[in-house]
Chains A and B, each alone.
Chain A
């Protein structure tokens, strides 16, 4: 859909416009064993930061570092206990400037 006059940016460029003050502790963890039984996998589609990726062995790979802390993933998750969600340590995580 993109045109020459307005090239669509890559996802990496999009995410590099956002400041994240990453803490060493993961504020969200995903139990890939539980995900292996999930057929819907709404998190992969819906996470605006695209942090959920299917793995070859049928699980889910998740990285917390570039997270918007929005709550989408746990809300669309069908598998109880698959996602443990909390906010990052104070002062860490996403920092918006012109939103």
Chain B
């Protein structure tokens, strides 16, 4: 747990996470951030309380089957489903990310995408995509903007761009209006989780040509 997180998630994301209406990749971003940030976790759980209100307001006259309680007792008698043992968060990957990587930071299957930058696409369903990014110390990711929304959260190291400096747990929220060139701190390699609901637009020709292969 770090109390140094400066860049947090927005209310609309936290409310949509509580409502359960986000694409899986965004859920993964929120769950990862909440693992590191109790400030946002408390905000998210207060939106759960609004969900509790919505549930209480539902029509209580909707009938269950006559035997519903007995059937449920039978379900209970079958025993609890076996839960996967939860791993504790490691120094780089919080628990929800470990589930998607299938292990620790050493188990990430990186693919080089040029200039020492590497990425690993994570398996999520739905419109949005999630990937891990490895940016070598001192390296800049090409100047790009976004068709949709891109959220980038630092897991290790730090990067700076035209907006600010972002360290572990900080989330940068970039939309159509932001053109930026994130550059990793010189002192340490940077690992980030990035999710987007639309492809990035690179502002120079070469990266644009490669974009179909990068799937970003």
Pairing of A with B: no
Interface residues of B (CB under 8 A from A): none
